Amino acid sequence: MTAELNLAQLRALVAVADHGGFGAAAAELGISQSAVSHAVAALERALGAPVLHRTTPARTTPLGTRILPHARTAVTATAAVRTIATSHSGGLTGTVRLAAPATVCQGLLPGLLREWRTAHPRLTVQIFEGEDDELGVWLEAGTVDAAVLVDADPAPAGAVPLGSDAMHAVLRRDHPLADQPAIDVADLEDDDFLLSEGGCERHIRDVYRRAGVRFTARHRIRDLNTLIGMVHAGLGVSVMPALAQTMLPPDCVLVPVRPAVHRTLTLTGPTTRPWAPAVGGLLAATRPATQPPPSSPTTS
């Protein structure tokens, strides 16, 4: 190998690996697709072997897979240096990639984004919506810089608690139980149950286990909006977090379930590498919660 590596090549590799293609990587980096292709080709010449399979979506080769974590570290470290310099001269800048569950993206993040924009107007936050079990993986792999984790145990040092979020039954407004202050899950046995596979299944099973009621799902649905649409169409009922309130159409309601089960929400950076200064600034601007998130319906 005679050619030297440079940051632009590593940044191109990370972008293609994260976004699955050269066109999407170009849009993310703000450069032409040709420039991304040339950067990756130059990296491969410098290493003497391919780092990407030119498939759809693009995949890393065995060599690319091995060097990708180091490329991420280099890109993140460079961004951290720039952020420190900017902070030293008057305010955080740059981009924080933040992952969160769908209900958090809908019900909690809009308010947080307004707070963060006020505290750090030059800092950009990119939102990545994922399922509960994906978020920690993305965070530790370096795909995102911070995440809102569900039931983090233990919470990493420096993490900010965002509160707890109770499980509720989601029903059509004309359902016989829709006007009740709370519902025993045993009372839902006559309804077809629609199960979200987005991450709350263990909380739902915990509700039924604690009630001593057999749990049976009629349909298993991955997308939360699809599940809500099926409830809206009268095809069944479900249980989901209170933060889903903002996603419901007017003729659907959330009713607290008994026994009560909550999930905890924690905003954090990674545990296996130092936090970027922008992540620290973001968390410092976030007020820890001592009660359920403000968008949660009142429970009794």
Q: What does the pLDDT look like over 29-51, one tens digit per residue?
A: 877 888 889 889 989 999 999 99
R_g over Cα of the chain = 22
C-alpha to C-alpha distances, 258 to 113, 172, 299, nearest whole angstrom? 33, 19, 11
pLDDT beyond 80 at 105: yes
Residue 296's pLDDT is 39
Collapsed DSSP state (helix, strand, coil) of residue 221 = strand
Q: Answer for the pair 128, 144: CB distance below 8 angstroms, yes or no.
A: yes
Percent of the chain with pLDDT over 70: 92
Average pLDDT over residues 107-124: 90
Which domains can be identified in the chain, with CATH numbers?
A: 7-80 (1.10.10.10), 92-162+264-284 (3.40.190.10), 164-262 (3.40.190.290)
Using alpha carbons only, give the angle 7, 10, 12 rounded to the nearest 5 degrees.
110
| Structure confidence at residue 84 as a pLDDT band (50, 70, 90) | low
Residue 155's pLDDT is 79
Q: Answer for the pair 106, 243: CB distance below 8 angstroms, yes or no.
A: yes
Structure tokens given for 8 = 């632009």
Residue 16's pLDDT is 93
| Residues facing residue 170 across a β-bridge | 238, 254
Average pLDDT over residues 92-104: 88
Residue 94's pLDDT is 80
Average pLDDT over residues 206-214: 89
| Structure confidence at residue 278 as a pLDDT band (50, 70, 90) | confident
C-alpha to C-alpha distances, 259 to 66, 167, 192, 200, 213, nearest whole angstrom? 47, 10, 20, 16, 11
Dihedral angle over CA of 192, 198, 204, 205, nearest 10:
100
This prediction's pTM: 0.67
| Per-position DSSP letters for 246-295, written without gaps between them | GGS-TTEEEEEEES--EEEEEEE--SSSPPPHHHHHHHHTSPPPSSS-TT
Q: Mean pLDDT, the chain, as a whole number?
A: 85
Residue 295's pLDDT is 40
Q: What does the pLDDT look like over 182-202, one tens digit per residue?
A: 999 899 988 999 988 777 888
Residue 2's pLDDT is 53
